[in-house]
Each structure stands twice: as structure tokens, then as C-alpha cells.
Structure 1
């Protein structure tokens, strides 16, 4: 199958440090290439991939201090994708809704995975106007505010199985990983750690928009002897940090679309203590891979109960539900379904669509796609 993956340009693929969407684009792209598909990745020039790279800008926009208007390079990217559209069997966008007007009447089958929140009021008229545009959610919860959209399915994120190392024995510290922002509630993580008397390592990015919040609300809390602020970490550092943690704290206060860090922890065998908002109940098995709580007091009790969680089972759940291999197979199933819908061809058994140069062998998989 000839597949185009269209990534945001803010971070490289994969990102050097923080960057959830571009990281998922990378894992998906590499799995598709490994499975024999002909993949072209539209991304920044500092990306690393076994796919064919169509570099739109020399380096990730976040790292280029000259960039003032980040929208302009994306418009150029969509123009290039459109000019090459007839070379692909399917085009997969990860760029929110920016491409909707340009590709509404594109003859090549295409779909968009949404990676962010969809409960914003301004999005309602957009999805009403573009109900014909095929879209994919990363959790069933994420799509609830816009049920009128043309949902092909839900595909949970996945990670390469070799990326994180399972560790049977935990360390004696808690970890908060991700981004310093009001909705991620690092202040809750600090309070939980103080109450249980356990060290907390904070590995997190501080965006410009959250700088005041960090300086005013979080930085004063970092002086406590139990709290260590590390900053952004790379994959290797994250592997060590998560793998040796007693538990990951995920004390969110917003409608989380997925929560990639939760499955990163499970890949290491590390249980998660999470506030039950957004997709959390969809990702975590309460009492099995961690605990879902609704208050700081409940989180404190959950941290003490983490010793009852089987770390090996956390890893097994990750392998069965959240591997990149499973994610890629789910997307190939959606690609196939989309092409069938567009071409009107029935594809039993081994898929062989000569008219569009498509050839796919269906594979048995665990998990599945929520329609």
C-alpha cells in the first residue's frame, strides 16, 4: 500500500524531547515500513525515518527561532501533498483540521487522526460543515463532544515493544512526566508526594504559554527536599526514570484525549495513579494496571496500595493493548475500509486492489478498532 503520513511541523519526527503527536507519527510510520508498505512522510527536514522523507522545512519549527508564522509552512506542505496526491493509495493527516478545505474534494482516500481535545465550542460549526471528512479518534472519550463527525473509528496509541525496558522491582520514588501546565496539575503531584513522604522526580517541559504558571505556582514548590525538577528528558532518560519509579502520578484536571505517558509507564511495568478524567478509564484498568482516583486523599491511599499491583501484568497489558504493531494494523484496517468505501470494491481474504496498486494481507490482532 502506498501511504502518505502528514505530520505537524512543530517538532521533528520523532521529537528530540517532548512531543506526543510527532512521536506517534514516527512509531506508526516505522511499523508500516517494517510491514512492507511504501510510506512517504511529510515532516521537517531534521526528522529520522526509514520512509521516504518529504522535508517541508529544514528543521522543526519550535527549534527555529526565525519562525514567526507557523501556519505558512503548513500551507506549503498541504500544497505539496495535494500535488503528489495521485501517487498514494491513502493520505493520513495528523494536522488537526488545517487541511480540511484543501482536501475536501481530493480524489485520493484520506483521513485525519485528531490528537487533541475536541470539546471546544468553536469546533462545533467546523464539524457540522465538514461531516464528509473521514476522521479518527484516539479514544472513545475524545470524540464525545462531536458525535456528528464522520468517525471511521478509534485507534488507541501504541509504542514499539522494544522501546521501554520492563523492570520487575520498583524504586522508591514517584514520577511526574510530561508538561508543566494548569491542566496537568503538577501541584497535585507535589502535594501527593509530600503527604506520602516519598521523593518525586518531575521531568517536564515548560511551554512559553505556561511560563508564568511555572514561575508563580510551581517553582516555589520545587524547594521542598522531596521534589526534584529535571526538565525535559529524551527517550533513554525517560526509560530509566519510568522504569525505576514506584508509580507514575497522572493527576490531570482536564478532558485528556489519551495520555501517552500512561502506556509508557505500563511498558516499563510501572503502575499509574491517575485522576479519572478524560480517557483515563479507557486506558487504565483500575486495580490492575494502577488506580483511578478522584481526590488527593484517594491518590495518597493509592500510592500506598501500589505494592499490590503486579508489574509483570502491567507489561503484559501494554503488549496486548498498546503496542505500535497493533496500532499500525488497526490503521491499515481503516485504510482498507476507506479505500473500499471510495472505490466500491469488495475485498475478501487477501486484499488485492490492482486498480489502485494496493496489496495487503489481513493479520490476526488483539485489541481492535472501536467504530
Structure 2
């Protein structure tokens, strides 16, 4: 198939360090290329891909200080997709609802993966206007606020199977990976480790929007004797870091649509202790690949039960449910269904 992948521009594809959507776009794109499909990637100019790259800006917007509003770059990219849409059998947007007004003018079928939460006040008004847009959810929990959208399928994110190594013998620390933001729960992770009498190592990004939270609330916690704050790390470091942990802590305080780090942990054989919000109960099997808990107290108790879990089963769950190959196959099913429907309408 001739497939267009349309990424966001905040990070390059794939990102150097932190980045969720752009990493998934990269894994999907490269898997499709490996299968022989003709793939075009719309992304920042510093992206690395085996597909045909259409650079929309010189480099990732995160690195462009003093540049225009990010919407300006995304609008230009989406218009370019429309102009070239006759060259594709399907266009796959990863830009959430920004693509919707442009998608109506495409010369080919399209689908949009929604990567963000849908329970925010005001979103329903917009989605009502675009209720016919074909969309894919990244968890069943994500779609629950708007069950009447034109959902094509729930497709969990997938990673290359050799990206992270399985580690059967972890070190004696708990891990936290993500962003230093209240919704991600880094403070709760520090408290869980403290109360469990265990070291915690934290590898996390600090966005400028979270700088005040970091300085006011988190920096004092990072100075505690049982805490090692590593800062932001990339894929090349995650295998040793996550794989070396007894467990990944995921004490979120929001309805996480997927939680890519959960799949990364399973790829390393590392079980997860997570607050059961959003997609967590879909990804982590309680008592098998980790513990799904309701509170910090429960998380502390779960640390004591980690020896009961089999890290081999964690890796097996990853290989069965969260590989890039499985993700690509499911998206190809959606692409083909949309293409057949479009052809039927033309006849």
C-alpha cells in the first residue's frame, strides 16, 4: 500500500530522549517499510526513517526557540498532506483532532489515532461536529468518554522486540520513568519507596511548564537519601535502567490513555506497580505482570509481594501483546477495511 504517516512536530521521529507519539509513529513506520509498503512520513526535518521523509520544519519544534506558534507549522503540514493525497491509498494522522477539517478534503481514505485523553470539558462539542471521522483508540478506557465516535478499533502501542533486553536478575531499586509532573506521580513514587524501605531511581524529563512544580515540590524529595534523580534518558539507556529495577512504579493521578513505559517495562521483564486508572488494568495483569492498586498504601504492600512475580511471564506478555509487528498488522487491517469501503462507495 501507499501509506502516509503524519506525525506531530514537537519531537523528531524518533525522539532522542523523551517522546511518546513520535516514537510510536517511528516504530509503526519502520515496520511498514520492512514489510515492503510504500510509506511517506510527514515529520520534522531531523527525523530518521526508512520511509520517504517530507520535512515540514528544519528540526523538532521543541528545539526551535522563538519560533512561531506550533499550530502554524502543523497547519502548513496538514495542507501539504491534502495537496499530495492523490498519491496515497490511505493517510494515517497522529495529530489528534487538528487533522479533522483537512481530512474532509483528502482524495483518499484516512484514519486518525487519538493519542490523548478525551474526558476534558469542551472536547465533546468539537467531536460532535466531526463524529464521522474514522478514529482508532489506544485503549478501551480512552474511548469511554466518547463511545459514539466512529471508532475503527482499539490498537495498543507496540515496540520492536529487540529494542529492550530481558533482565532476569534485577538490582535492588525501584524505577520511575516519565515526566516530573503532578499527574505522573513522581512524588508518590518517592513516598512508596521510602515507606517500603527501598531505593528509587528516577529518570524523567522536566518540561518548562512543570518547572515550578519541580522546584517547589519535587526537588526537596529528590534530595532524600533513598532517591537518585538521573534526569532524562533515551532508549539506549532504558534497557539497563528499567531492566535493572525490581519494579517500575506508575502511581499516576490521571486517566492515562496508554502509558508506553508500561510496555517498555514488560519488554525488560520488569513488573509494574501502578494505580489502576485509565488504561492500566488493560495493560497490566494484576498478580501476573505486576500489581494494579488503588492507593499508596496498597502500592507499599505490593512492593513486598514482588518476589511472587515471574519476570519471564512479563516478557512473554510483551511479546504476545505489545510488539510493533502486532501493531502494524492491526493497523493494516484498518487501512484495508477503509480502502475497501472507499472503493465500494465509488462503484
Matches within 5 A, 1:321-336: 321-336=321-336
CA distance in 2: counterparts of 1:175 and 1:118, whole angstroms: 28
Residue pairs, 1:281-292, within 5 angstroms: 281-292=281-292
Q: CA deviation at 1:307?
A: 1.0
Q: Give distance in 1, aligned partners of 2:64 and 2:294.
A: 41
Any idea what SS the aligned residue of 1:99 has? helix
* 2:248 partner SS: strand
1:130 maps to 130
- Residue correspondence of structure 1 range 141-156 to structure 2 within 5 A: 141-156=141-156
Counterpart position of 1:180: 180
1:19 alignment partner, SS class: coil
| Stretches of structure 2 lacking an aligned partner (at least 5 in a row) | none
Q: Which residue of 2 aligns with 1:305?
A: 305
CA distance in 2, matches of 1:168, 1:239: 12
Return 263-272 or 141-150, whichever deviates more: 141-150
For 1:115-135, what per-residue CA distance to the aligned partner results, in whole angstroms no more than 9, with x for missing partners? 111101211011111111101
1:252 aligns with 252
Structure 2 counterpart of 1:337:
337
RMSD: 1.0
Does the CA contact (< 8 Å) of 1:127 and 1:148 recur in 2?
Answer: no
CA contact (8 A) 1:128 1:148 kept: no
Cα drift, residue 20 of structure 1:
0.2
Matched residues in 1 for 2:132 and 2:298: separation?
44
CA distance in 2, matches of 1:261, 1:75: 30
**Is 1:319 the equivalent of 2:323?**
no
CA–CA distance in 2 between the matches of 1:75 and 1:253? 32
Using the alignment, how far apart are the partners of 1:57 and 1:107 within structure 2? 24
Q: TM-score, normalised by structure 1?
A: 0.92
Q: Is the 8 A contact 2:21 2:115 kept in 1?
A: yes
Give me the whole-angstrom Cα distance separating, in 1, the residues matched to 2:307 and 2:48.
Answer: 39
Assess if the C-alpha contact under 8 Å between 2:274 and 2:293 holds in 1: yes
Question: In 2, Cα distance between the equivalents of 1:3 and 1:258?
Answer: 24
Deviations 1:67-110 (A, max 9, x none): 13111111110111111100000000000111211221423100
TM-score, length of structure 2 as denominator length: 0.98
Distance 1:124 1:66 in 2: 33
Listed as ranges, the gaps of 5+ residues in structure 1 are: 346-354, 356-371
Aligned pairs (5 A) from 1:10-159: 10-159=10-159
CA distance in 2, matches of 1:186, 1:254: 13
The alignment status of 1:203 with 2:232, answered yes or no, reads no
User: Runs ≥4 in structure 1, deviation > 6 angstroms?
Assistant: none
Cα distance in 1 between the residues matched to 2:126 and 2:316: 40
Number of positions where the alignment pairs a residue of Structure 1 with one of Structure 2:
346
C-alpha contact (below 8 Å) 1:3/1:92 kept by paired residues = yes
Whether the aligned pair in 1 keeps the contact of 2:6 and 2:42 (CA below 8 Å) is yes
Name the residue aligned to 1:278: 278
What's the secondary structure of 1:146's corresponding residue?
coil
Secondary structure, counterpart of 1:183 in structure 2: helix
Deviation track 1:290-332 (CA, whole Å, cap 9, x = no partner) reads 0001111110111111111110110011000000000000000
Query: Residue 140 of structure 1 contacts residue 279 of structure 1 at CA under 8 Å; is this kept in 2?
Result: yes
Distance 2:246 2:4 in 1: 40
In the alignment, the residues of structure 2 paired with residue 275 and residue 99 of structure 1 have an alpha-carbon distance, to the nearest angstrom, of 33
